[in-house]
Amino acid sequence: MAVSVFDLFSIGIGPSSSHTVGPMRAAGRFVAALAADGVLGDVSRLRVELFGSLGATGAGHGTPGAVVLGLEGFDPETVDPTAARARVEAVGSEHRLLLPDGHAIEFDTTDDIVLSLQAMDFHSNGMVFTALHGDGSTLARRVYYSVGGGFVVDEDEAAAGTRDDDTELPFPFRTGTELVGLADETHCSIADLVTSNEEALGNGARLRDGLLGIWAAMRECVDRGLQTGGTLPGALRVRRRAHALADALESDPSDPLYAMDWVTVYALAVNEENAAGGRVVTAPTNGAAGIIPAVLHYYWRFVPGATEDRVVEFLLTAAAIGQLFKANASISGAEVGCQGEVGSACSMAAAGLAAVLGGTPAQVENAAEIGIEHNLGLTCDPVGGLVQIPCIERNAVASVKAIVAARMALAGDGTHHVSLDTAIKTMRETGADMAEKYKETSLGGLALNVVEC
């Protein structure tokens, strides 16, 4: 399969990869298609319909604002979060949208963006974009789906069943068994195999620097989270805790759980930044963006001899596991619940840590399996449609769980009863059986039982 490490780890803005980053990219693709067809200048009105999970929790996830930014030509990787918020507010108050070719149209976010609880057939996160002539006739119409992790497919790609690159890879794998088998046969690490595949995808020259850039963005996100106090946006008024907890930790480094407490703080810092709409690394989603950075910070700060080369190895190994989840199940909370987001990120982080601590391919696969097995069945039920409760704390718990999973795997020889492939298959089946109200609709679970006050 040809999903790149840079697909699984991309820089964007919060609070959601599927509800913020994906819709922004879809809106951008729509106006780019209009421009390519030479009809962007003929657009007098735009109408956007958001279905399913996007309709149910889009308001709390910033989806309408993300659509506005995409229609104006902004990209989630490069847009400044502060400037983005100001631009969304301006469009909301002025009711005018500035399209990428420079011409403005009337646009009322309350009327021209429609939220619907009805789910579309292919995926819960469906979007329909319609461009209209001045006389009200349809100029163009396009359907897109935000399928998790910021990935977007249009209706043609959905019908074809894949959007993956058809590049022939030197080490193709679709299962954990194949991955470990390739590593054993070639006497290579999992990271080595992924490196060869990335070279085939044309990413060889930028691979190391690009991944270190991802690591730098993770560190910057943590630093911002540690420096910022106050409360998060939204009616819940959730207090940011990372800043105060970090100060308290600095005053007592003798605590026997000092390192684990820092892991918790690192995860909180990232997910508080994400909930505030800040710049984060999708890893592999925004809702689970704190887990891999927290475990990487644990490695960097508390494991003697940590190096940048090992950081690259960590991310490459984690990406291999992420590719398996994306190919064989899902990383979308709207599709399989939070097991697809926090569960996959926990598994990826456990595998990455096991690798840089000297684990064999079999031990790495075992760590990944432990990481997902004990997140099976995890629902996605954000209170108030906000990526705050239980999402922020859930990242902290899963970060510690990933470290435990890696250490358990390294204590053995890689032999275990439940394979990663079996666990991923189980995750997919569990997601299919899960009631829709537990899949990022805020219609069940904590979202139903917690009073928003």
Mean pLDDT of 329-356: 97
Q: What is the chain's length?
A: 453
Mean pLDDT of 108-123: 93
pLDDT at 452: 58
Tens digits of residue pLDDT in 235-292: 999 999 999 999 999 888 888 999 999 999 999 999 999 999 999 999 999 999 999 9
In whole numbers, what is the pLDDT of the chain averaged over residues? 95
pLDDT at 160 over 90: no
Instruction: Using DSSP, state whether 104 is helix, strand or coil.
Output: strand
Transcribe 258-284 into DSSP letters.
Answer: HHHHHHHHHHHHHHHHHHTT-EEEESS
pLDDT at 87 over 80: yes
Bridge partners of residue 153, in order along the sequence: 145
For 144, phi and psi rounded to 5 degrees? -130, 155
Sign of the dihedral through C-alpha 285, 290, 291, 293: positive
DSSP conformation class of 9: S
- CA-nearest of 163, 162, 183 to 173 is 183
pLDDT at 343 over 60: yes
Do strands 104-106 and 113-115 pair parallel, antiparallel, or not at all (unpaired)? unpaired
Say how far apart CA 437 and CA 448 lie, in whole Å.
9
Q: Other C-beta atoms within 10 Å of 194: how many?
A: 26
pLDDT at 70: 97
pLDDT at 207 over 90: yes
pLDDT at 2 over 90: no
Place of tokens 């906000």: 386
Mean pLDDT of 299-307: 97
- CA-nearest of 398, 400, 395 to 267 is 395
pLDDT at 36 over 50: yes
CA distances from 338 to 63, 162, 421 (A): 19, 23, 19
Mean pLDDT of 313-319: 98
DSSP conformation class of 19: I
Mean pLDDT of 429-452: 92
Please state, for a pLDDT cut of 70, what percent of the chain lies above it.
Answer: 98
Mean pLDDT of 301-322: 98
Q: At what angle do helices 391-410 and 342-356 cross, to 10 degrees?
A: 40
Say how far apart CA 351 and CA 402 lie, in whole Å.
8
Mean pLDDT of 342-355: 98
pLDDT at 194: 98
pLDDT at 164: 47
Mean pLDDT of 414-420: 96
- CA-nearest of 300, 249, 246 to 269 is 246
pLDDT at 163: 47
Mean pLDDT of 201-209: 97
Mean pLDDT of 44-53: 96
Are 290 and 387 a contacting pair, CB within 8 Å?
Answer: no
pLDDT at 250: 85
Say how far apart CA 244 and CA 84 lie, in whole Å.
28
